[in-house]
Amino acid sequence: MRPVQQILSSPVDKWGLKALLYEIKMGIGKDRGRLLFGEELSELGVDLDQSDPLFTTFATPWIDQSSLPRQNITEPYHTPSCYHVNAPAVESKIGLFSEETLFYAFYMCPGDLLQLEAAEELFNRGWRFHMEMQVWMTSQQLTSTPLDLPSPQWVRGSVTLWDPRIFSRHNTGEDFMVDASQFEVTRPAGQTVAEERAKKEAAKSPNGPNGNLGVSHSASTGYGAR
């Protein structure tokens, strides 16, 4: 009895998919069956048990492989050394960014470390973030104005504003007035992140920070939701 007939003699397979597949192959003929179902590589003399990949040396199934010289069809490749580059951290290059790039990082990365680093760099370049107006502005007068004022202190004069709606800067008139007490005291990004981590660690305690029930709060910035 042939192997196929042995399979079909089983009560389970006689009326199953194996029997249906056999009947289809027999009914449409060998040539048409080859087009529909393909070829069994093992029947073409291809060693499927070898551990090496076939694609490097296998040329065609319709020829005696032993008559062909063994050669690599796919040449070995290597990655050029110029691709092995360890990209430096963003903070090491942020001082080289243009102000437009810094504003993009600030507004496009809310709640991210990159936002804090961009804010720190903008502050170092003389820009001040107004927490009530939610915009960055700069002028020689604002740069020299002290921050963290206990009471409102109005500053009058022309300033340069960065408008995030049109992503461009523009100058105000000389009669422009702004409350300097609303400027954020922008701190180093590392300090803000360290304080946030300390709050999260304290919140993991069953009693929260200072012995009271507490939860972690977001980093103390005036940037608001973006």
Residue 55, exposed/middle/buried by CB under 10 A (0-12, 13-18, 19+)? exposed
Contact predicate 127/98, CB 8 Å: no
**Cα–Cα nearest to 68, from 43, 46, 97, 48:** 46
pLDDT band at residue 212 under the 50/70/90 scheme = very low
Whether this prediction's pTM lies above 0.75 is answered by no
pLDDT band at residue 146 under the 50/70/90 scheme = confident
User: So what's the pLDDT on residue 214?
Assistant: 36
Average confidence score pLDDT of the chain: 79
**Per-residue DSSP letter, 29:** -
User: What would the DSSP string read from start to end of 123-147?
Assistant: HHTT-EEETTTTEEEE-HHHHTS-S
Q: Domain coordinates of the chain in residue numbers?
A: 1-40, 95-182
Write the single-letter amino acid at 119: A
pLDDT band at residue 208 under the 50/70/90 scheme = low
Which range of 8-12, 78-82, 155-159, 217-221 scores highest in mean pLDDT? It is 155-159
* C-alpha span between 132 and 130 (Å, rounded): 6
Contact predicate 202/87, CB 8 Å: no
State the pairing for strand pair 177-179/154-156: antiparallel
* C-alpha span between 211 and 57 (Å, rounded): 71
> Could you tell me which residue, 75 or 180, shows the higher pLDDT?
180
3-state helix, strand, coil in the chain (%, to 5): 40, 10, 50
> Average pLDDT of 185-205?
81
User: So what's the pLDDT on residue 102?
Assistant: 96
Percentage, residues of the chain above pLDDT 90: 31
pLDDT band at residue 95 under the 50/70/90 scheme = very high
User: So what's the pLDDT on residue 10?
Assistant: 66
Yes or no: domain 95-182 corresponds to CATH 2.30.30.1020: yes
pLDDT band at residue 218 under the 50/70/90 scheme = very low
- Per residue in 61-79, pLDDT (tens digit) is 776 666 666 666 666 677 8
Token pair of 71, please? 């050669």
User: So what's the pLDDT on residue 41?
Assistant: 74
